[in-house]
Amino acid sequence: MIEINKLTKRYGQIEAVKNISFTVNEGEILGFLGPNGAGKSTTMNIITGYLPATEGSVKVDGFDILEEPEEVKKRIGFLPEQPPVYKDMTVSEYLKFVSDLKYVPKSKQKAQLDDIMELCGITDHVGRLIKNLSKGYRQRVGLAQSLIGNPDVLVLDEPTVGLDPKQIIEIRNLIKSLGKKHTIILSSHILPEVSAVCERVVIINKGEIAAVDTPENLSKGLNSASRLTATIAGPQNQVSKLINDIYGVKYNEVLGKPNKDTLTYVIESDKEIDVRRPLFFAMAKAGYPIIELRSMDMTLEDIFLKVTTVEEGVH
Ligand code: ADP
Ligand code: MG
């Protein structure tokens, strides 16, 4: 549905986006994840035709953004990082104004706006001035504006930034339900955000793609080993040797300083093998009590850090 091919954007000397390519499939919710300054907004502004690319192309539904911008813009609803709301208008004035801009026929405007306002939960706020709305409601109005004209594709730039946790969950659920009818690309610098909503994730760092996969595969793929921490009371050399003798254990090392008579070990093992039970029996047999045992499997946060630091090492 969206094809991004060898896209580069330079602002003077700054190369904000460096030769990136990826696609967004029809009907999917794609997460575009990266730290601040990674190039997310730049890419989204190019996809939506707000910025010209320096090199490369973007096609939406087969139409090139440079050659047929009107065709592309018709198919895209955009929620920029700063929602484009006029604060001195009421919600209904503003949404009517956007409907006119998007050439929605007058005869269809009311029915369409009623549906969109209902969907976005702003029906009770139609008469309010936008400047008097909370950030969460302004964001809903921003989302509502992106839905006008019923575009196939929604491009949402950090749609939950600045919202409180309750509002985040509400907007998330709204985006999930929009995903049933639209193809969505959503950017975020927060991992739980994309893993909660998206089926596939593109990680961008310093203008380059660092990884593309499902949240689950990202966790699996980068996780060639399984790690545990175990806090055990007993002499270090003996405990350490017993751990290493367990089938599947690759190595162990002590983490931090001893606490009374206990030490905390990081145990790395083959990811297919669960060493927790044999560890328990080995320590019980030797009379070294396990005080605490935890899995250290990588979360998406760790993967994000790993992927982005690997990139750092390259430059
Ligand atoms: P993100 O949305 O991921 O935070 P941006 O696309 O906003 O990243 O920015 C990518 C890089 O481009 C940053 O280094 C930013 O400072 C730079 N940048 C963004 N917009 C401009 C601009 N108009 N002029 C110069 N540099 C810019
Ligand atoms: Mg941004």
CA-proximal residue: ligand 1, atom 10 (nearest): 39
Residues of the chain with CATH 3.30.70.3190: 224-296
Atom 7, ligand 1: residue with shortest CA distance:
41
Ligand minimally distant from the alpha carbon of residue 36: 1
CATH 3.40.50.300: which residues of the chain?
2-219
Question: Which atom of ligand 1 is least distant from the CA of 35?
Answer: 3
Q: 97-144: per-residue pLDDT in tens?
A: 999 988 899 999 999 999 999 989 899 999 999 999 988 889 899 999
**Positive or negative: CA dihedral 197, 202, 203, 208:** negative
Pocket of ligand 1 (CB under 6 A): 11, 14, 16, 34, 36-42
How far apart are alpha carbons 217 and 220 in whole angstroms? 5
Residue 291 is inside which H or E element, if any? Answer: strand 290-295
Give CA–CA dist 12/24, Å, rounded: 29
Q: How far apart are CA 41 and CA 85, in angstroms?
A: 18
What is the number of the ligand 1 atom nearest to the C-alpha of 9? 12
Are 185 and 140 contacting, i.e. CB atoms less than 8 angstroms apart? Answer: no
| Among 151-155, 167-171, 192-196, the range of highest mean pLDDT | 151-155
Cβ–Cβ < 8 Å for 60, 75: yes
65-85 pLDDT, tens digit per residue, is 999 999 999 999 999 988 777
Residue closest by Cα to atom 22 of ligand 1: 11
DSSP lists the bridge partners of residue 259 as: 262
> Residue with the nearest Cα to atom 21 of ligand 1?
11
Q: Is the dihedral of CA 127, 130, 133, 135 positive or negative?
A: positive
Q: Which atom of ligand 1 is nearest to the CA of 42?
A: 6
Indicate if the pLDDT at residue 183 is higher than 80. yes
* Ligand 1 centroid, distance to 207 Cα (angstroms): 9
Looking at domain 224-296, its CATH class is alpha beta
- Nearest ligand atom owner, CA of 20: 1
Q: List, for residues 264-283, the tens digit of each pLDDT value.
A: 999 988 878 889 999 999 99
Which pLDDT score, from 0 to 100, does residue 315 have? 40
pTM value > 0.85: no
pLDDT band at 257 (very low <50, low <70, confident <90, very high): confident
CA of 22 to the centre of ligand 2 (A): 18
- Give the range among 14-18, 22-26, 293-297 with minimum mean pLDDT: 293-297
Q: 2-219 falls under which CATH superfamily?
A: P-loop containing nucleotide triphosphate hydrolases (3.40.50.300)
What are the helix (H) ranges across the chain?
A: 40-47, 69-75, 91-101, 106-119, 135-147, 165-178, 191-197, 215-221, 236-244, 276-286, 300-314
How many angstroms does the Cα of residue 40 sit away from the middle of ligand 1?
8
Q: Closest Cα to atom 17, ligand 1: which residue? A: 16
Please tell me the distance between residue 157's alpha carbon and the centre of ligand 2 in angstroms: 7
For the chain, give the longest Cα–Cα distance.
82
Q: In the numeric block, which tokens belong to residue 248? A: 């599947």
pLDDT in tens, 161-175: 878 888 888 889 989
Name which of 171, 122, 176 is nearest 148 in CA terms.
122
Distance 32 CA to ligand 2 centre (A): 11
Average pLDDT on 37-63 reads: 95
DSSP character at residue 130: G
Indicate which atom in ligand 1 lies nearest the CA of residue 44: 6
Separation of alpha carbons 15 and 11, rounded Å: 6
